[in-house]
């Protein structure tokens, strides 16, 4: 409002105030009211008079001061002169201002009317301004939401839209008379589109994240495998320090406790960082939008498609590229780890059933692809590598809580294939060793060579190595240590399969127990087939080898028991090959008996006795001398390497066979008569054989084989053959003589007729024959 003009009756005080003003602005503030008040001529002259009076007073004062202070007076005069000049100028300005005020007063009425007219317009503008301000708030919130979307702050944008609805849109829409009603309605209808935009933007970021996750799945699996391998090495070092820890496998509670100090996050480490923020944001956004079920189903479908893209159409087990088995297992491991981590972080998004379903399908695919490629594998070492890859995969995923039962079962399939290839390879090796052996005692030239053979073979020399002289000969042929090497390698490679991880130790034990068919079919059977040889030396060597293989099998049984895992069934372990070698030792012994007896038969065919010789021969027959020489030579040469008990059995059987053959000579139907000279010739040969037996080391025990032959000779040379027909006397003197053969020989012996008749009367079973002989006699 304009300042109210102050009325002055006396301008003296007003002049004082004007003059005492300190600034130009204050001077004008004091002067203007006075000028407005002095519009009339009378008052204007009063103001002028007061100003003149004030000036005169100041001049008198100045004069007085000038008289007392001349110099100061002169300065003041100058100053006063200036003031006066300014006062004159000011007076002119006041007059002009007065005229201007008078002119403006005339316009005041017109302006007042204009003010009344513009006040209504101002109120309308104010209302419009307020409406615009409210609309701008709404538009600002909308723009802010879209700006947050562009900045990828999706939850903030969604919250901004929600606040916009609650604070502005809904109240405005509910107020139908509100100015912004139409605008609010339009923006409210655009909210779903904005929310859809947010949802699509979030899904775009999520799909980008999923793509990156799929691309890094294999690397994530590789990092996880490396971590598992590191844990293996640490556990192995702990086992070396404390063997008791060998009872606790990887991922067991004990192992996890020992490994607590080695913290490692597969998802967040120096090599790899997996940020789940986009996933959590997308989940949070869709929960806020009330689209959790839709998002869950879309995410599950996306992960299933990614799983299908992860699995190749085929896998190569012999290469190390993107199509290799290790790449496949690393990719599956990384995918499954992401799934398990997602389930743990967002259980409402991924349930255990969803994760296990994907896991089972990936395991089935990996097993199917590997099984399909196994048909082209003929190298057992490659199977060990495959098993190692699966074992690392199993131990890694077992640590993440996945079920590995199907993978464990597949390891059994791998082991069966591995065992089949090993048996095929070692079957060929055994076959070649047996077929190329020279079946001669193995010659050892140096001590080093002897130690190598002793280390690989189950063989213990009776003499200490210090007492041996080289070169020397070992009892077995070269095939035995070579087979022992193959047997040890066979066992080592079987148990090598179980290194690191194999939960079926009894499977190895059972397979090894059954795998001894290699020894029975390829070694024992081949040796038995060669027993048809006509060379006694080769048969003896085969027998020696069979004996050592029996010992090797017994040692092998103990080795398998010691190597058997704690989880295997206890009790003795018997290999069928052990019994086979034991039984076929007897077959080889029989074959030696056959060859020796065959030679004896050949010598017996050269025996020529003149049973009716006119005079006794001067010396034993040549065949009996050859026979004793043969027995002596074969025992000291060919059969020298045999154990003592076997040699004694061969002697025993050979002498028994020779005695039976010698006794059969006079019993031959072709021999009709025997005179005393013929008996003497036979007695000389028997005596020569007896002397040979007596000279043997165990001649006393072997002599019993010749008792029947000796007692038969004594009977034929006896002066009183009737003693044979007396049961008590016969049992004492001729107890070993066959009751049927004795009368036949006595019948052939040329004696008195009376004795012959007694013989005929005694020997009823051959009465018809004796009667015919009587007629001939």
What are the pLDDT digits (tens) for 558-612?
Answer: 887 777 654 445 556 677 888 888 888 888 888 888 888 888 888 888 888 888 8
The vertex-262 CA angle with 256 and 268, nearest 5°, equals 105
- How does residue 363 score in pLDDT terms, banded at 50, 70 and 90? very high
For the chain, how many residues are written?
777
Give the span between the Cα atoms of 48 and 759, in whole angstroms.
Answer: 210
Secondary-structure percent of the chain, ordered helix, strand, coil, rounded to 5: 75, 0, 25
For residue 53, pLDDT beyond 60? yes
Q: Which residue has the higher pLDDT, 460 or 655?
A: 655
In sequence order, what DSSP letters do the residues of 17-78 get, joined into one string? Answer: HHHT-SSHHHHHHHHHHHHHHT-SHHHHHHHHHHHHHHHHHHHHHHHHHHHH-HHHHHHHHH
Mean pLDDT, residues 160-179 taken together? 58
Alpha carbons within 13 A on the beta-carbon side of 622: 3
Alpha carbons within 13 A on the beta-carbon side of 618: 0
Q: Which residue has the higher pLDDT, 116 or 755?
A: 116
pLDDT for residue 761 = 39
Mean pLDDT, residues 4-13 taken together? 57
For residue 172, pLDDT beyond 80? no
- How does residue 59 score in pLDDT terms, banded at 50, 70 and 90? confident
For residue 364, pLDDT beyond 90? yes
Give the span between the Cα atoms of 30 and 49, in whole angstroms.
Answer: 18
For residue 99, pLDDT beyond 50? yes
For residue 257, pLDDT beyond 70? no
The mean-pLDDT minimum among 144-158, 167-181, 226-240 falls in 167-181
Q: Which of 327, 323, 333, 321 is nearest to 221 (CA)?
A: 333
- How does residue 764 score in pLDDT terms, banded at 50, 70 and 90? very low
335, with CB counted inside 10 A (0-12, 13-18, 19+), is: buried
Q: Which residue has the higher pLDDT, 91 or 509?
A: 91
What is the CB neighbour count within 10 angstroms for residue 411? 23
Give the span between the Cα atoms of 740 and 737, in whole angstroms.
Answer: 8
For residue 244, pLDDT beyond 90? no
For residue 529, pLDDT beyond 60? yes
Give the span between the Cα atoms of 678 and 609, in whole angstroms.
Answer: 7
Q: Give the H/E segment covering residue 760.
A: helix 753-762
Q: Which of 425, 461, 429 is nearest to 442 (CA)?
A: 461
Give the span between the Cα atoms of 339 and 358, in whole angstroms.
Answer: 9
Cβ(63)–Cβ(72) below 8 Å: no
Mean pLDDT, residues 187-194 taken together? 65
For residue 725, pLDDT beyond 60? yes
- How does residue 361 score in pLDDT terms, banded at 50, 70 and 90? very high
Q: What are phi and psi of 474, to 5 degrees?
A: -90, 155
Mean pLDDT, residues 21-31 taken together? 68
Q: Which residue has the higher pLDDT, 104 or 585?
A: 585
- How does residue 760 score in pLDDT terms, banded at 50, 70 and 90? very low
What integer best gives the mean pLDDT of the chain? 78
pLDDT for residue 96 = 82
pLDDT for residue 753 = 33
Give the span between the Cα atoms of 291 and 480, in whole angstroms.
Answer: 77
In sequence order, what DSSP letters do the residues of 261-278 get, joined into one string? Answer: TS---TTBSSS-B---HH
pLDDT for residue 41 = 55
Q: Which residues contact 107 (CB under 8 A, 6 or more apart)?
A: none
Three-class secondary structure of residue 250 per DSSP:
coil
pLDDT for residue 756 = 40
Mean pLDDT, residues 523-536 taken together? 84
CA-CA-CA-CA torsion for 8, 11, 13, 15, nearest 10 degrees?
130
Q: Whole-structure pTM over 0.85, yes or no?
A: no
What secondary structure, in 3-state letters, does 654-684 show? HHHHHHHHHHHHHHCCCCCCECHHHHHHHHH
Give the span between the Cα atoms of 11 and 50, in whole angstroms.
Answer: 6
pLDDT for residue 322 = 59
């Amino acid at each position: 409002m304009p300042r109210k003009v102050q009325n002055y009756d006396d301008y003296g005080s007003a002049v004082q105030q004007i003059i005492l003003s300190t600034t130009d602005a204050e001077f004008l503030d004091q002067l203007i009211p006075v000028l407005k008040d002095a519009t009339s001529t009378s008052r204007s002259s009063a103001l002028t008079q007061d100003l003149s009076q004030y000036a005169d007073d100041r001049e008198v004062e100045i004069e007085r001061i000038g008289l007392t202070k001349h110099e100061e007076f002169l300065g003041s005069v100058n100053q006063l002169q200036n003031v006066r000049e300014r006062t004159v100028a000011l007076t002119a300005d006041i007059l002009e201002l007065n005229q201007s005020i008078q002119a403006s007063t005339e316009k005041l009425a017109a302006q007042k009317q204009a003010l009344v007219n513009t006040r209504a317009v101002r109120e309308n503008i104010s209302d419009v301004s307020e409406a615009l301000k409210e609309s701008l708030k709404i538009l600002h919130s909308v723009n802010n939401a879209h700006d947050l979307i562009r900045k990828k702050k999706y939850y903030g944008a969604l919250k901004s839209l929600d606040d916009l609805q609650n604070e502005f849109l809904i109240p405005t829409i509910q107020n139908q008379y509100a100015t912004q009603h139409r605008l609010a309605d339009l923006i409210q209808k655009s909210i779903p589109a904005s929310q859809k935009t947010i949802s699509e933007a979030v899904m775009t970021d999520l799909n980008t994240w999923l793509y990156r996750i799929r691309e890094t799945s294999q690397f994530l699996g590789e990092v996880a495998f490396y971590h598992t391998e590191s844990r293996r090495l640490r556990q192995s070092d702990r086992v070396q320090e404390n063997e008791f820890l060998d009872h606790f496998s990887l991922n067991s509670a004990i192992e996890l406790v020992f490994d607590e100090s080695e913290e490692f996050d597969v998802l967040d480490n120096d090599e790899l960082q997996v940020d789940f923020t986009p996933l959590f944001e997308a989940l949070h956004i869709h929960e806020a939008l009330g689209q959790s079920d839709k998002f869950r189903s879309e995410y599950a479908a996306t992960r299933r498609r990614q799983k299908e893209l992860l699995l190749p159409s085929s896998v190569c087990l012999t290469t190390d590229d993107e199509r290799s088995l290790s790449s496949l297992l690393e990719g599956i491991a990384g995918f499954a780890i992401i799934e398990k981590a997602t389930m743990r972080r967002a259980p409402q998004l991924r349930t255990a059933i969803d994760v296990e379903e994907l896991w089972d399908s990936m395991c089935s695919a990996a097993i199917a692809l590997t099984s399909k490629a196994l048909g082209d594998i003929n190298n057992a070492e490659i199977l060990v590598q495959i098993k190692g890859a699966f074992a690392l995969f199993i131990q890694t995923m077992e640590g993440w809580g996945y079920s590995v039962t199907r993978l464990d079962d597949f390891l059994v399939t791998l082991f069966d294939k591995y065992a089949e290839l090993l048996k095929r390879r070692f079957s060929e090796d055994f076959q070649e060793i047996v077929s190329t052996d020279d079946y001669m005692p193995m010659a050892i030239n140096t001590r080093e060579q002897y130690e190598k053979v002793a280390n690989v073979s189950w063989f213990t020399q009776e003499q200490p190595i210090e007492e041996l002289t080289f070169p020397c000969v070992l009892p077995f042929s070269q095939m035995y240590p070579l087979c022992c090497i193959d047997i040890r390698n066979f066992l080592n490679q079987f148990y090598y399969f179980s290194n690191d991880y194999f939960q079926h130790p009894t499977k190895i034990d059972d397979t090894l127990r059954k795998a001894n068919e290699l020894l029975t079919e390829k070694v024992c059977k081949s040796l038995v087939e060669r027993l048809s040889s006509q060379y006694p030396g080769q048969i003896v060597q085969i027998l020696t080898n069979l004996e050592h293989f029996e010992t090797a099998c017994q040692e092998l049984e103990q080795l398998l028991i010691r190597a058997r895992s704690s989880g295997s069934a206890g009790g003795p372990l018997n290999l069928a090959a052990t019994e086979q070698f034991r039984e076929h030792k007897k077959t080889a012994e029989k074959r030696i008996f056959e060859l020796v007896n065959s030679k004896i038969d050949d010598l017996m065919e050269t025996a020529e006795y003149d049973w009716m010789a006119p005079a006794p021969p001067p010396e034993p027959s040549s065949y009996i001398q050859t026979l004793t020489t043969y027995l002596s030579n074969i025992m000291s040469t060919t059969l020298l390497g045999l154990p003592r008990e076997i040699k004694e059995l061969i002697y025993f059987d050979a002498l028994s066979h020779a005695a039976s053959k010698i006794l059969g000579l006079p019993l031959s139907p072709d021999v009709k008569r025997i005179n005393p000279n013929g008996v003497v010739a036979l007695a000389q040969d028997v005596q020569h054989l007896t002397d040979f037996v007596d000279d043997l080391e165990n001649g006393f025990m072997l002599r019993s084989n010749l008792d029947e032959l000796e007692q038969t000779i004594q009977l034929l040379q006896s002066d009183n053959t009737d003693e044979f027909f007396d049961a008590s006397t016969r049992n004492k003197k001729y107890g070993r003589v066959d009751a049927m053969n004795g009368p036949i020989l006595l019948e052939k012996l040329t004696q008195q007729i009376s004795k012959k008749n007694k013989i005929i009367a005694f020997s009823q079973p051959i009465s018809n024959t004796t009667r015919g002989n009587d007629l001939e006699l």
